[in-house]
Amino acid sequence: MNSQLACVTMLTDFGLSDETVACCKGVLLSKGLNLPIIDISHEVPPFDIISGGWILAGALPFMPLGAHLAVVDPGVGTERKIVILHVQRGDFLVGPDNGLLMEAARRLGGIKKAWSVCMERSGFKKISSTFHARDIMAPVVGDLGLGIPPSTLGEEIEEKALIDYPLAEPKQENGKITGSVAYIDAYGTVRTNILWRSLKGNVKNLKISSSWLFSIPVGRTFADVAKGDLVILEDSWGYVSIAINQGRASDLLGSKPGDPISVEFTM
Amino acid sequence: MNSQLACVTMLTDFGLSDETVACCKGVLLSKGLNLPIIDISHEVPPFDIISGGWILAGALPFMPLGAHLAVVDPGVGTERKIVILHVQRGDFLVGPDNGLLMEAARRLGGIKKAWSVCMERSGFKKISSTFHARDIMAPVVGDLGLGIPPSTLGEEIEEKALIDYPLAEPKQENGKITGSVAYIDAYGTVRTNILWRSLKGNVKNLKISSSWLFSIPVGRTFADVAKGDLVILEDSWGYVSIAINQGRASDLLGSKPGDPISVEFTM
Amino acid sequence: MNSQLACVTMLTDFGLSDETVACCKGVLLSKGLNLPIIDISHEVPPFDIISGGWILAGALPFMPLGAHLAVVDPGVGTERKIVILHVQRGDFLVGPDNGLLMEAARRLGGIKKAWSVCMERSGFKKISSTFHARDIMAPVVGDLGLGIPPSTLGEEIEEKALIDYPLAEPKQENGKITGSVAYIDAYGTVRTNILWRSLKGNVKNLKISSSWLFSIPVGRTFADVAKGDLVILEDSWGYVSIAINQGRASDLLGSKPGDPISVEFTM
């Protein structure tokens, strides 16, 4: 079923300073896994499911088939489920059931089957109250990477029982499209969940939260506008982003993940 | 003897911005090593042997058998020894003889044999005055990973000749246990070297350095107390830690690695 | 031709927080590459070709033969070339034609052949305007790692058509040598491009930009001078560096990459 898996990936909000990420990798290797382990990011802003889910979704389409471990888990220690998603492309995604995995699953063709991990079935060792990534999720990913079927690790659940990605799909009406800020990158560029190709005709005005910005220029790269000027452009994943040439758009606009954003255009 | 090694790990205080970590990995690969190389952390606070040693000890029990390179080395360029420790579990630990490796060695069952690396025996190339990780320690780890016996790399030394981990074992007396701060994590959580299971009965009061804090609540997770409140809890490695829900306990308490800490409890 | 390649390395100014580095690695794995991928640094100061080129040059001599991807690319989206350099040692270097690769190529014996990547030849998928590392360079590195000859990926160009590394070779005259600041490390140590062995006799005075510093002591390590004092010493790659024991020389001296620096010495 998954003999074709070619990698394991990891995304967390653990940071790189302590031993938490390494502990998870140690668990994977201790299982006998011999796939390459690729770090997507361990610097997701703490507990930020929107940002973590967006980065995960930006990375996985460029990965070969894999078992993907994603952990941004404000609910660790509560009753939230830990889930395994098998997607149309063939990958497995493992993480908390809080929406983190859902945008990535959608971009890999959608969910084929989902399981809720059963603590009883899986032969886990001692489980700590706050480090389920190491004690539950990494062992599950290791097992999947070894070809163990997910049905032996959890109970099948319906897709509609899963918690969705926090950002709603953008809505379009009369030359205006409204979506959300999905991620602020290290340069302060505001990445949105509005598909670039959904902008018909000429982009005119931009509404960030409740303020309108008029006649923002559209560019192909940052350098298409003068230093310090705002520019709206297609990001490297096909979505609308707003940047300042050699400046931080997020600081000027006061944007953060989850904020509404609207674009007006003329046909 | 070490044909069963399954990984090489690295822990340093080099940071990730320059080429120092990569140079060490290049040396390992150039030796022909083909084990996975796992980064434990390269963001140990500079020269902080207590923190580095504690993180190493937290990671290694979750790794498969390996050759482990750990470098926090304020004495580089002085007469301090470079040592190879062979532990009961079967791993090799390589690093400066300054206590950095000792807590990890203890958690892997204790030291079976130890060697002091001999510059003469090992066929090293040019050795710089300040980068022994690249010029001496990485070649030693590479050799161990290839199955070369440590006796050809150094001279056997007695365990009692080794410098110990800086933190003393916690001491217990009359319903009070006194240990040390071992690590401040990225969230400001104060991790101590006091085993959670050594607290008998109910935890009552906490003494940080010379100040008493009365009736700190015991929780299972941060979220068991109100936002901004202190909580004492078991960390993911079985030790006592002190946190603030959505705040930085280390800032409030002024704690740093090495500080004494006492816990009173009632039977 | 390149069946002996033993690794792929990566150096970028992308940072580690978002999914950009992982996307490149995903492209490499998706090509079927099964060489170890070593990160040299992803924390090159943004757009800083001098620093990036210097770090790359410090790392590659310690790597086994490889295909090396280096991306510090302020000109992305403009007409700048993407080049493949085949060096005397046998490695391939891939990156933008802006001087970034040139110092490393020099230290690996110099350039044997160079190619400019042809978009037409290479069977690329959709190419974004701002992420050529993922869309062009990583596929090229993957192909080289698989043994595909560079002549099928680009058009041969002459070495003299390539843009050089921004720092000129140091110049020597009458007991004085003048070079440049090449890199400021995480500790504020000022690394220069002046070879230590080019200092004849006794080092006397140091000129940083336009200010003279007299009688700086020469040390073997930082600790050879008192806390807070300046020291001039040989760095771990054989070049002149200026440090402050437990302080930041770059802050005191106001140095940045590219600044001129002169050393006077007496025979």
Nearest CA in chain C to B24: C62
Q: Tell me if chain C has a CB within 8 Å of the CB of B46.
A: yes
Asked if B39's CB is within 8 angstroms of A19's CB, the reply is: no
* Percent of chain A surpassing pLDDT 90: 73
Q: How many residues does chain B have?
A: 267
**Rounded Cα distance, A144 and C235, in Å:** 47
Beta strands in B34-162 (DSSP E): 37-41, 66-71, 82-87, 92-96, 111-117, 154-157
What pLDDT is recorded for position A2? Answer: 47
What pLDDT is recorded for position B120? Answer: 72
Residues of chain B neighbouring A129 (CB-CB closer than 8 A): 220-221, 233-234
Asked if A39's CB is within 8 angstroms of C37's CB, the reply is: no
pLDDT digits (tens, 9 = 90+) for A224-267: 888 889 999 999 999 999 999 888 999 998 999 999 999 988 76
Residues of chain A neighbouring B16 (CB-CB closer than 8 A): 16
In this prediction, residue B267 has a pLDDT band, given cuts at 50, 70 and 90, of low
Q: Tell me if chain C has a CB within 8 Å of the CB of A229.
A: no
Asked if A223's CB is within 8 angstroms of C30's CB, the reply is: no
pLDDT digits (tens, 9 = 90+) for B8-18: 999 999 999 99
Cβ distance B51 to B44 under 8 Å? yes
First vs last C-alpha separation in chain C: 48
Cβ distance A84 to A115 under 8 Å? yes
Q: Tell me if chain A has a CB within 8 Å of the CB of B159.
A: no
Cβ distance C22 to A59 under 8 Å? yes
As a whole number of Å, the CA-based R_g of chain C is 20
Q: What is the DSSP letter of A164?
A: P
Of A150-164, B91-105, C16-30, C125-139, the one with minimum mean pLDDT is C125-139
What pLDDT is recorded for position B1? Answer: 43
Nearest-Cα distance to chain C for B7, in Å, is 13
* pLDDT greater than 70 at residue B110: yes
**Rounded Cα distance, A248 and C176, in Å:** 43
Tell how strand B37-41 and strand B7-12 pair up.
parallel
Q: What is the DSSP letter of C251?
A: H
Nearest Cα to C181, choosing from C115, C112, C260?
A: C260
**Rounded Cα distance, C4 and C35, in Å:** 11
Kindly list the strands in the beta sheet with A111-117, ordered across the sheet, starting from the edge strand earlier in the chain. A37-41, A7-12, A66-71, A92-96, A82-87, A111-117, A154-157
**Rounded Cα distance, A155 and B147, in Å:** 44
**Rounded Cα distance, C164 and C68, in Å:** 18
**Rounded Cα distance, A91 and A113, in Å:** 11
Indicate the average pLDDT of chain A: 92
Nearest CA in chain C to A52: C18
**Rounded Cα distance, A131 and A181, in Å:** 30
pLDDT digits (tens, 9 = 90+) for C119-157: 776 667 788 888 999 999 999 999 999 999 999 999 999
Tell me how crowded residue B81 is: count the other CB atoms within 10 A of its CB. Answer: 18
pLDDT digits (tens, 9 = 90+) for A27-41: 999 999 999 999 999
Q: Tell me if chain B has a CB within 8 Å of the CB of C125.
A: no
Q: Tell me if chain C has a CB within 8 Å of the CB of B127.
A: no
**Rounded Cα distance, A193 and A180, in Å:** 6
* Percent of chain A surpassing pLDDT 70: 97
Residues of chain C neighbouring A185 (CB-CB closer than 8 A): 17-18
**Rounded Cα distance, A247 and A227, in Å:** 8
**Rounded Cα distance, B130 and B121, in Å:** 20
**Rounded Cα distance, A158 and C159, in Å:** 61
pLDDT digits (tens, 9 = 90+) for C193-209: 999 998 877 777 777 76
Beta strands in chain A (DSSP E): 7-12, 37-41, 66-71, 82-87, 92-96, 111-117, 154-157, 171-173, 176-184, 190-195, 202-208, 211-213, 218-219, 230-234, 239-244, 260-266
**Rounded Cα distance, C165 and C181, in Å:** 13
Classified as helix, coil or strand, A144 is helix
Collect all residues with Cβ–Cβ distance below 8 Å to C55 and sequence separation of at least 6. B18, B19, C11, C40, C41, C44, C183
Tell how strand A7-12 and strand A230-234 pair up.
unpaired
Q: Tell me if chain C has a CB within 8 Å of the CB of A255.
A: no
Residues of chain A neighbouring C128 (CB-CB closer than 8 A): 234, 236
What predicted TM-score, i.e. pTM, was given to this entire model?
0.95
Q: Tell me if chain B has a CB within 8 Å of the CB of A46.
A: yes
Nearest CA in chain B to A125: B62
Nearest CA in chain A to B56: A19
First vs last C-alpha separation in chain A: 48
Q: Tell me if chain A has a CB within 8 Å of the CB of B236.
A: yes
Nearest CA in chain A to C127: A236
Cβ distance C57 to A90 under 8 Å? no
Q: Which residues pair with A87 in a beta bridge?
A: A111
In this prediction, residue A58 has a pLDDT band, given cuts at 50, 70 and 90, of very high
Residues of chain B neighbouring A76 (CB-CB closer than 8 A): 221
Q: Tell me if chain C has a CB within 8 Å of the CB of A245.
A: no
First vs last C-alpha separation in chain B: 48
Instruction: Report CA A2 to chain centroid distance, whole Å.
Output: 23
What pLDDT is recorded for position B121? Answer: 67
* pLDDT greater than 90 at residue C24: yes
